[in-house]
């Protein structure tokens, strides 16, 4: 019975992967770029997302991510039914928050509302692609000298509302010492070891995730020396 269930689950995952790939290819083929950057990406003038950000461009169309990062993954972080009181009564809608990442260097979080479930999720996914950020990894712990990009290169801090998250470099084998709600955030950028200090109302999942992404994005906000550069993951 267990083997049969595993086969069924594997079959569903393969079908889902094939369906997503088909949808991605359809979006790319039907895409008519509205910006100059989008036209450059569609024409193949930009090879990958590293080159895209190195030139100082911003993601103005979600299809840019579909073209440059075909293996992008997504996960529904939060989904709620909301209500707004009007003179006619209560007006209900859905709010979705979607996390995307390539499992290596890029991550994004998007939130959107709609009166229907799936349109809200699709809008949130597009919003996450527009908010894509690059994360630098490294081996910043003084207890580890493996020089592999398995953790953050230095201590970083991120905030969202009342939540404050500090991520500290950890030696190889430590694991993700952080709340369960945000472990997927670190896995989506390939971070395997990290220590953390968190303050505020971390029970609010969306703020917790947002603060963690803010901290990861801070790895790009400093000027680093030659010594720090050796710890960072550089793709040349």
CATH number, position 197: 3.30.230.10
Say if residues 139 and 152 touch (Cβ distance below 8 Å).
no
Q: Does any domain span residue 181?
A: yes
If one compares 118 and 234, the residue with the highest pLDDT of the two is 118
pLDDT of residue 125: 92
The length of the chain is 236
125 lies in the same domain as 166 = no
Q: Would residue 41 count as lying in a domain?
A: no
Is 143 part of any domain?
Answer: no
Which residues in 33-61 are b (16+ Cβ under 10 Å) and which e? beeebbebbbeeebeebeebbeeebebeb
204 within a domain of the structure (yes/no): yes
How does pLDDT run across 45-96, given as a tens digit for each residue?
A: 988 898 998 888 899 999 999 899 888 888 999 999 888 887 778 888 999 9
The residue with greater pLDDT, 2 or 178, is: 178
CATH of the domain at 125: 3.30.160.20
Q: What pTM was estimated for this model as a whole?
A: 0.81
52 in a structural domain: no
- Let me know whether 160 and 225 are in one domain: yes
Whether 160 and 209 map to the same domain: the answer is: yes
CA 204 to chain centre: 18
**In this predicted structure, what is the pLDDT of residue 13?**
45
Listed residues 82, 100, 134: the one ending a domain: 134
- Count other Cβ atoms within 10 Å, centred on residue 83: 10
Residue 229 has pLDDT above 50, yes or no: yes
pLDDT digits (tens, 9 = 90+) for 104-124: 889 999 999 999 988 999 999
Do 191 and 224 lie in one domain? The reply is yes
Range of the domain at 162: 156-229
Higher pLDDT, 142 or 218: 218
Considering the domain architecture, whether residues 160 and 195 belong to the same structural domain is answered as: yes
Q: Among the three residues 103, 134, 165, which one is the final residue of a domain in this structure?
A: 134
Q: Out of 134, 167, 185, pick the residue that ends a domain.
A: 134
Residue 7 pLDDT grade (very low, low, confident, very high; cuts 50, 70, 90)? low
Residue 19 lies in a domain: no
186 within a domain of the structure (yes/no): yes
Say what the pLDDT of residue 224 is: 58
Count of domains forming the chain: 2
Residue 26 in any domain: the answer is: no
Q: What values do phi and psi take at 121, rounded to 5?
A: -65, -40
The mean pLDDT value for 202-216 works out to 91
Task: Tell me the three state secondary structure of residue 95.
Answer: strand
Q: Which of 159, 218, 169, 232 is nearest to 195 (CA)?
A: 169
């Amino acid at each position: 019975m267990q083997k049969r269930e595993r086969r069924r689950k594997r079959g569903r995952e393969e079908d889902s992967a094939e369906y997503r790939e088909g949808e991605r290819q359809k979006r790319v083929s039907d895409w008519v770029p509205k910006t100059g950057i989008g036209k450059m990406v569609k024409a193949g003038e930009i090879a990958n997302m590293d080159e895209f950000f190195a030139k100082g461009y911003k993601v103005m169309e979600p299809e840019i991510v579909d073209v440059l990062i075909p293996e992008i993954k997504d996960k529904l972080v939060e989904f709620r039914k909301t209500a707004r009181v009007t003179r006619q009564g209560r007006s209900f809608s859905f709010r979705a928050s979607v996390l995307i990442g390539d499992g290596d260097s890029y991550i994004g979080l998007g939130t959107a509302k709609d009166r229907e479930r799936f349109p809200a999720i699709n809008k949130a996914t597009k919003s996450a692609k527009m908010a894509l950020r690059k994360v630098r990894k490294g081996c910043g712990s003084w207890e580890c000298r493996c020089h592999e990009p398995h953790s953050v290169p230095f201590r970083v801090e991120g905030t969202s509302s009342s939540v404050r998250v500090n991520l500290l470099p950890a030696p190889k084998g430590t694991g993700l010492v952080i709340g369960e709600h945000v472990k997927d955030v670190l896995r989506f950028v390939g971070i395997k070891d990290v220590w953390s200090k968190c303050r505020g109302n971390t029970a609010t999942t969306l703020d917790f995730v947002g603060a963690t992404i803010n901290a990861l994005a801070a790895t790009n906000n400093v000027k680093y020396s030659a010594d720090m550069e050796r710890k960072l993951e550089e793709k040349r």
